[in-house]
Amino acid sequence: MTSTLPQPLPEVIKESGQREVFCGLTSIVWLHRRMPDAFFLVVGSRTCAHLIQSAAGVMIFAEPRFGTAILGERDLAGLADANEELDRIVAQLLTRRPEIRTLFLVGSCPSEVIKLDLAKAAERLNLQHQGRVTVLNYSGSGIETTFTQGEDGALQALIPLMPSSDQPQLLIAGTLADAVEDRLVNLLTRLGIDNVATLPPRRSTQLPAVGTGTRLLLAQPYLSGTARALIDRGAELIHAPYPLGLQGSRAWMAAAGAACGIAPTAVNDLLDPLVERGQRALAPHRETLAGKRLFLLPDSQLEIPLARFLSQECGMHLVEVGTPYLDRQLMAAELALLPPGTQLSEGQHVEKQLQRVMAQRPDLVVCGLGLANPLEAQGIATKWSIELVFSPIHGIDQAADLAELFARPLRRRGALTFT
Ligand code: SF4
């Protein structure tokens, strides 16, 4: 399946209003683990420092690979001072940390930071530290980005550095847990696809090539900008559902196989036994989830693939599926698999959405951290969507664990109610 025609979309509620979503800085937490030779320097306020401290669960200055350049009021009095301060902090950092090969300057929301031209700063710093480090920039500001869009921004910043090559290859884009990625790459190799590369790479300096021989397979659904930039460099996008759940993961690999000229029988021979085993592991969770009513509030952009898995494979009933942003091209294969008439919503207006939740009284709500406690207090079980980006949930082998993440809050609530 290398192309999927766009399906007629069900009616989508479009909303904009108060948002309750972590900003793009949060993605630093998984990106810095992925590329140990990169450093993420947040140019921001104490609020930003506090956010990544608490999101990472560690003290910033005890953590070796990300930090915050907090510009004090003195620096913000003049942009020249702020640039000088940034140069000083970067020079200090590079002296202290000889292992850093790529330095991301990450923008944030304070208006003083917005006024700083970080692209220019990166250019200047590249000249100052030529040969020693590559300096890039992107925005993690909460005004422009949600936490998963932060990764999209970081990957886009890397793309201009990727070498050009028209050699055939399969390029998987999107950060996965290393062990999960190893398993997926191993399966694709066993299918007969030889040249599999990943973005981001595990070393920031070992960027894969891209060109007209590149078949692009997205591992994460929130990489709209990255996908566009890779397509501009000649890559061809493989349209497929995302590798969540048994069927999604199977279809994802089958689409890669088809795009790389692998016979469908080879795909069946390899994957069918895995899917059968996965079905047995999934069964007890399906028992808990089947027939339960699910409401997904917009947060991670994983909502549509998750809704597809939870309805198609776990028997849940979808009350509403929200997404912060709906990319119809990247979601075409997923939308085609949602039950007909599924209510979608795009964007966020917390108050109105909570009113709909309260009116519908679903059994489970997938939502951001800030909304979980008020909903639990109203007797509604919740699942934090941010947990999903930190959990190894991709692939056939992980489908049961993914279902378990949703079954657990329902079982817990059941135990609270009946004991
Ligand atoms: Fe808050 Fe903006 Fe900093 Fe994110 S970037 S922590 S939203 S001030």
DSSP string covering 43-101, please? EE-HHHHHHHHHHHTS-GGGSTTEEEEEPPHHHHT-HHHHHHHHHHHHHHHHHH-TT--
CA–CA distance, 42 with 237 (Å, rounded to integer): 32
DSSP-assigned letter for residue 338 = S
Q: Are strands 102-107 and 344-348 parallel, antiparallel or unpaired?
A: unpaired
Q: Ligand 1 mean position to 23 CA, how many Å?
A: 6
Q: Ligand 1 mean position to 114 CA, how many Å?
A: 12
Q: Ligand 1 mean position to 52 CA, how many Å?
A: 9
Range ranked top by mean pLDDT from 25-29, 89-93, 354-358, 389-393: 354-358
Which of 89, 143, 93 lies closest to 114, judged by CA? 143
CA–CA distance, 154 with 173 (Å, rounded to integer): 12
CA–CA distance, 343 with 11 (Å, rounded to integer): 7
CA–CA distance, 248 with 242 (Å, rounded to integer): 6
Smallest CA separation from ligand 1 atom 3, residue: 48
Going from the C-alpha of 218 to that of each of 138, 253, 258, 369, 392, the distances in angstroms are: 21, 11, 15, 26, 16
Q: What is the pLDDT of residue 18?
A: 73
CA–CA distance, 278 with 22 (Å, rounded to integer): 33
Closest ligand 1 atom to 52 CA: 6
Q: Which of 51, 54, 60, 116 to mutate to test the pocket of ligand 1 (most atoms within 8 A of CB)?
A: 51
- CA-only gyration radius of the chain, Å: 22
Closest ligand 1 atom to 141 CA: 5
Closest ligand 1 atom to 107 CA: 5
Q: Helix, strand, or coil here: 23?
A: coil
Q: Ligand 1 mean position to 145 CA, how many Å?
A: 10
| pLDDT over threshold 90, residue 16 | no
Closest ligand 1 atom to 51 CA: 6
Q: What is the pLDDT of residue 106?
A: 92
Cβ(40)–Cβ(28) below 8 Å: yes
Q: Which of 27, 47, 68 to mutate to test the pocket of ligand 1 (most atoms within 8 A of CB)?
A: 47
The 10s digit of each residue's pLDDT in 180-233 is 999 999 999 999 999 999 999 999 999 999 999 999 999 999 999 999 999 999
Q: Ligand 1 mean position to 141 CA, how many Å?
A: 6
Q: Ligand 1 mean position to 147 CA, how many Å?
A: 11
Q: Ligand 1 mean position to 307 CA, how many Å?
A: 29
The 10s digit of each residue's pLDDT in 355-412 is 999 999 999 999 988 899 899 999 999 999 888 988 999 999 999 999 999 999 999 8
CA–CA distance, 304 with 282 (Å, rounded to integer): 20
Provide the percentage of residues in the chain whose pLDDT is more than 90: 69
Smallest CA separation from ligand 1 atom 1, residue: 48
The pTM of this model reads: 0.91
Q: Report residues whose beta carbon is within 6 angstroms of any ligand 1 atom.
A: 23, 25, 44-45, 47-48, 51, 108-109, 140-142
Closest ligand 1 atom to 108 CA: 5
Q: What is the pLDDT of residue 2?
A: 43
The 10s digit of each residue's pLDDT in 65-82 is 455 555 554 555 556 677
Q: Ligand 1 mean position to 75 CA, how many Å?
A: 19
| pLDDT over threshold 70, residue 417 | no
Q: Which of 141, 143, 144 to mutate to test the pocket of ligand 1 (most atoms within 8 A of CB)?
A: 141
Q: Which of 20, 25, 26 to mutate to test the pocket of ligand 1 (most atoms within 8 A of CB)?
A: 25
Instruction: Round the average pLDDT of the chain to a whole number and report it.
Output: 89
CA–CA distance, 170 with 213 (Å, rounded to integer): 8
CA–CA distance, 372 with 364 (Å, rounded to integer): 11
Q: Ligand 1 mean position to 386 CA, how many Å?
A: 16
Smallest CA separation from ligand 1 atom 7, residue: 142
